[in-house]
Structure formats: structure tokens, C-alpha cells
């Protein structure tokens, strides 16, 4: 029986060149073995389903027998062009994004500016603002459904105290989407606050002190120093906010179900309905890939910006 050194020498000298290189570097060999479980997980639960869904987008699979699903080429994508419900969902996603992203960034920045001050108990307030982020969407949705109830909701009760009429917040097409945006901002402001705080604390205090000596007030210091130096943070939150808004689903599914009259039927919710209620898996896969292409564009913008910024720094 060969000894271990002889066996390793045999494995190293036999086989193709990539195999010899793999066995010739013990550190790389150990590293590959460590990442093997994660690699298998990515292949089985990410890569294979991704390729499978891409193939499904060219078939008319109705969720019964996959082997009998006819191959229809680009028919799903052609049908999507004239699908009014899909374009309504995409329009709702764009409307949701235009409301949620800038308002969320402004509100979270205001919170971060206050939380960046040397206040007593500031860490407690930071924790309280971050608690909604780690809360379940289902639990948060149930709470807000109660608060916005047109009959027994606290918000309408406060309006009636001031002599104002109650509003059907989630049942009126005009107010349903802004109500969802309000809930989203409330839940996600804590996460964006943390990102803003990281950017604010990276700004040298010497710049603000020098501006104060030159006669700049708090507003001039914020507008001329703080905000320009927060440009990378702003861009990061903008792109990630757009990507997250295009993928919104939980709040829509639990709170409004896409209603009323399709006013909150966003893209991911429309894909869900086609896949798991209509069982039109092929068309749902095509819609998912279109949404993936849109999100990929924004991701590519962020990658290009970060690389350009790194090159400008060095």
C-alpha cells in the first residue's frame, strides 16, 4: 500500500494540468473544501432554479406535467407586450418607487442628523428606531391595518377629534398606495438611519469647525459640507432603495392584496398571481426575467459608479 506522500505525488503528477495545479497548492485545496458546502447550496438552490425558470419562460407550463409542457419560444414575451395588467403593475411599482425612495431617504436622513448628536440616551432612541426593521412584515401589517381601519382606526379617530372626516385609507384607490408607502417608510427608516449615521460619522469634525469659524451657520454647513460628502451614501441608498421598491411584495400581499381595483398590484405581486393562482408558470417566469432585467440595470449602475469612484480615489 502506498504511503501518503507517495499517493499525493501520484495525484499531483497524473491527470490534466488544472488537476495538477489544484493538488499542487495545499492552501487552495483546503480553501476549496471549505467553500464547497456554500458552493453546492448556491448551485442547487440558486443556479439550477435560475436556469430552470429561464427555460420555463419559453414554455407554456401550467404547473401539471412538466414533460408535456410545449415549447412556445418567445410567445410569453410577446403576450407580455399587450398585457394591460402587467403594465399596470409596473406602473404601480414605478409610482411606489417614486414615493417611497425619496421620502424614505429624506425622513431617515432627518432622523440620522438628530441621532448623530451627543444626546443623553441616544443609543436607546437608535434602538427604538431600528426595531421596526427586525419586526415581521406580517406583524407590522396587522398593526397598521388596525391603525388605518376606517371605522375603528386610531388615525381616523384623531381626524374626527379635529372635526375632519374619516378616510378609507386602504380601501380607496387614491390613498391605498400612499398608505403602503407610509408603512414602508416607517418600517425601513431605521435601516437607512444606520447607513446615514455611518456616512455622517465619517465626516471630519474639523471641516465643520473651520466652516463655523468662517461664519457658516448650521444650514450652510449642512448644505455645503455634510450633503456633498454624503454623496456616496446617498447614491448607495438611492440605488438599493429603487431595487428594494421594485421587489416589494409582503406588504402588498398581506395588507391590500393588490387592491382596491388593482391600485396596489405591483410587479412581484402580479408574478405571484400568475404563478400560484393562475398556475401559468411559463408566463410568470417570463415576467420574472423582465423584472430581473430592470433590476439588473440599476445594479449595474451602482457597480459602475463604485468602480469609477475607487479609480478616482487612487
Domain ranges in the chain are 4-45, 85-313
CB atoms within 10 A of CB 9: 13
Per run of 10 residues, the mean pLDDT along the chain (length 314 residues) is: 50 59 64 87 93 93 78 94 96 96 96 90 92 92 92 89 90 94 95 95 87 84 90 92 94 93 95 93 95 93 81 62
Let me know: does 181 contact 255? Beta carbons within 8 Å.
no
Give the model's pLDDT for residue 280: 92
DSSP 67: G
Which class is 85-313 in CATH? Answer: mainly alpha
Model's pTM, two decimal places?
A: 0.86
DSSP 134: G
Give the model's pLDDT for residue 2: 46
Contacts of 155 by beta carbon, 8 Å cutoff, 6+ apart:
147, 148, 167, 169
Residue 59 forms beta bridges with which residues? 71
Cα–Cα distance between 128 and 165 in angstroms, integer? 32
Residue 71 forms beta bridges with which residues? 59
Report residue 206 as a C-alpha cell. 474639523
Amino acid at each position: 500500500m502506498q504511503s501518503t506522500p507517495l499517493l499525493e505525488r501520484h495525484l499531483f503528477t497524473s491527470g490534466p494540468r488544472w488537476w495538477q495545479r489544484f493538488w499542487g497548492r495545499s492552501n487552495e485545496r483546503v480553501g476549496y473544501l471549505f467553500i464547497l458546502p456554500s458552493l453546492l447550496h448556491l448551485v442547487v438552490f440558486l443556479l439550477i432554479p435560475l436556469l430552470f425558470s429561464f427555460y420555463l419562460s419559453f414554455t407554456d407550463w401550467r404547473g401539471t406535467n412538466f414533460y408535456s409542457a410545449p415549447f412556445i419560444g418567445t410567445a410569453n414575451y410577446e403576450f407580455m407586450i399587450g398585457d394591460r395588467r402587467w403594465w399596470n403593475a409596473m406602473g404601480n411599482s414605478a409610482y411606489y418607487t417614486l414615493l417611497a425612495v425619496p421620502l424614505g431617504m429624506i425622513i431617515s436622513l432627518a432622523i440620522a442628523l438628530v441621532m448623530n448628536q451627543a444626546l443623553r440616551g441616544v443609543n436607546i432612541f437608535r434602538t427604538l428606531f431600528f426595531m421596526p426593521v427586525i419586526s415581521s412584515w406580517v406583524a407590522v401589517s396587522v398593526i397598521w391595518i388596525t391603525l388605518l381601519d376606517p371605522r375603528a382606526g386610531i388615525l381616523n379617530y384623531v381626524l374626527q377629534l379635529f372635526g375632519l372626516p374619516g378616510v378609507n385609507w386602504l380601501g380607496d384607490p387614491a390613498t391605498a398606495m400612499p398608505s403602503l408607502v407610509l408603512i414602508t417608510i416607517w418600517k425601513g427608516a431605521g435601516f437607512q438611519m444606520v447607513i446615514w449615521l455611518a456616512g455622517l460619522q465619517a465626516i471630519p469634525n474639523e471641516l465643520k469647525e473651520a466652516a463655523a469659524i468662517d461664519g457658516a451657520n448650521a444650514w450652510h454647513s449642512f448644505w455645503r459640507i455634510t450633503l456633498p460628502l454624503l454623496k456616496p451614501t446617498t447614491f448607495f441608498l438611492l440605488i438599493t432603495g429603487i431595487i428594494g421598491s421594485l421587489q416589494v411584495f409582503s406588504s402588498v400581499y398581506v395588507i391590500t392584496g393588490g387592491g382596491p381595483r388593482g391600485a396596489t398590484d405591483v410587479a412581484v405581486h402580479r408574478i405571484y398571481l400568475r404563478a400560484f393562482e393562475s398556475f401559468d408558470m411559463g408566463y410568470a417566469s417570463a415576467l420574472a426575467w423582465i423584472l430581473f432585467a430592470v433590476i439588473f440595470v440599476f445594479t449595474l449602475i451602482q457597480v459602475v459608479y463604485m468602480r469609477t469612484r475607487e479609480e478616482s480615489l487612487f
